[in-house]
Amino acid sequence: MKDRTLLMIPGPVEFEPAVLGALGHPTASHVAPDFIEIFGACIEQMRKVWMAPSSQPLILAGTGTLAMDTAGANLVEPGDKTLVISTGFFGERFAELLKRYGAEVAILRAPLGGIVESKTIEAELKKSTYKLMVFTHVDTSTGVLMNPVEIGKLGLRYDVLTVLDGVCSVAGEEIRQEEWGIDVVLTASQKAIGVPPGLALLAVGPKAMSKWRSRKTPVLNYYGDWGNWLPIMEAYEARKPSYFGTPAVNHICALHVSLSQVLNEGLEKRFKRHKRIGDSCKAAASAIGLKQVPLQPEFAASTMTALYYPDTVNGPELLSKIKEAGVVLAGGLHPDIKAKYFRIGHMGAVKPGDILATIGAIETGLARCGHSFETGRGVYTVQEYLSQ
């Protein structure tokens, strides 16, 4: 493993060996009794991880974009008014896909690095009647965290379905779907869920299911039509064989291992671990003079950190020096500042030592790029922070 680098991007992340081991097992038939048991157990585990006991979980082969796509396709009928609360790149993506399904889309855009305030959302909901409101819990292009509690309340108050894009948050940031009144929480496997890319995961609450059931027009997406998948999810949960499209057998076995680990750790502990690690990374970055993209500390996610390059440093050169020091980080994604910042992912299996290694590699990279700063200050800050 001497050539191993540490993958610290905001997805895919480092995965637990037991999860990777499950991917390498001989592939079972999708109707083998052992596999049916595993699939059924994953559905039950998802309800716990999402804290959504009355929801219908869906496990589909695909990526996070498919999870967004299937939520849009099933909940929107042509002409429906939808509100997108955009804190970056992925909010804009949601708006585009909703338009494909004929939605009339209004967008409330946050300033770069900022959030959309609840009072702004409420003013819009007072002005017009919406069927659906979508928001990104953590927008991976900015590292900005939105407050789902407020949005859940607004959804209930104004009778608007709420969809939370939790691709960069589920199983890392605190989410209590049912208690907070969020109708759909969707994610993908490759981030805090802890399974390599390949699964789209959604928990659909009762109100969203009933809106979907009362559709007047067909779902304009064949693969993603919940009507095709609901009987399959129900059959697996009842431990019965079924088939619509071949499930991603190995990925689902890996999901079972990972969700078991998540539940064994305990959700409260897991949220705290992410917060502590995220805070230590941000404290270290600021100790060596790196500025965050989120405009205020309380807007910043626990699962990732987005940092501006210092003015004196060439971004691609810095990332390449950090990689030489053993850590892979991600460049920018938000089109307005793409070349000006970089991103660190710290979720799922992440451990305190990974942040030490990451901050150490960033310091090495900065020094090799000729940037002057107090060397060692970042690593010291992580140690201080994590020893408290």
Contact residues: ligand PMP, CB under 6 A: 11, 63-65, 90, 136, 139-140, 165, 167-168, 188
Q: Are strands 81-86 and 132-136 parallel, antiparallel or unpaired?
A: parallel
Please identify, using beta-carbon distances, which residue of 97 and 154 lies nearer to ligand PMP.
Answer: 97
Of the candidates 256, 89, 62, 57, the residue with the CA atom closest to the CA atom of residue 168: 89
- Token pair for 12: 């895919």
Of the candidates 302, 310, 303, the residue with the CA atom closest to the CA atom of residue 286: 310
Q: Exposed, middle or buried by CB within 10 Å (0-12, 13-18, 19+), for 337?
A: middle
Residue 65 CB, nearest approach to ligand PMP (Å): 3
Residue 191 CB, nearest approach to ligand PMP (Å): 7
Residue 97 CB, nearest approach to ligand PMP (Å): 10
Rg (CA), the chain: 21
Please identify, using beta-carbon distances, which residue of 10 and 40 lies nearer to ligand PMP.
Answer: 10
Please identify, using beta-carbon distances, which residue of 221 and 381 lies nearer to ligand PMP.
Answer: 221
Residue 340 CB, nearest approach to ligand PMP (Å): 19
Please identify, using beta-carbon distances, which residue of 11 and 365 lies nearer to ligand PMP.
Answer: 11
**Residues 6+ positions from 18 with CB-CB distance below 8 Å:** 257, 261
Please identify, using beta-carbon distances, which residue of 139 and 237 lies nearer to ligand PMP.
Answer: 139
Backbone φ, ψ for residue 327 (5° rounding)? -130, 130
Distance between first and last Cα of the chain: 32
How distant is the alpha carbon of residue 208 from its chain centre?
A: 20
Residue 342 CB, nearest approach to ligand PMP (Å): 15
Please identify, using beta-carbon distances, which residue of 76 and 167 lies nearer to ligand PMP.
Answer: 167
* Nearest residue relative to ligand PMP (C-beta): 64
Can you tell me the distance from the alpha carbon of 305 to that of 280, in angstroms, rounded to the nearest whole number?
10
Please identify, using beta-carbon distances, which residue of 190 and 381 lies nearer to ligand PMP.
Answer: 190
Are 272 and 136 in contact, with CB atoms under 8 Å apart? no
Beta bridge mates, 132? 82, 161
Residue 136 CB, nearest approach to ligand PMP (Å): 5
- Token pair for 19: 């999860």
E-strand stretches of 276-325: 304-308
Q: Exposed, middle or buried by CB within 10 Å (0-12, 13-18, 19+), for 336?
A: exposed
Residue 90 CB, nearest approach to ligand PMP (Å): 4
Of the candidates 64, 132, 72, 125, the residue with the CA atom closest to the CA atom of residue 102: 72
Are 234 and 43 in contact, with CB atoms under 8 Å apart? no
Residue 217 CB, nearest approach to ligand PMP (Å): 26
Please identify, using beta-carbon distances, which residue of 11 and 378 lies nearer to ligand PMP.
Answer: 11
Residue 110 CB, nearest approach to ligand PMP (Å): 14
Please identify, using beta-carbon distances, which residue of 139 and 354 lies nearer to ligand PMP.
Answer: 139
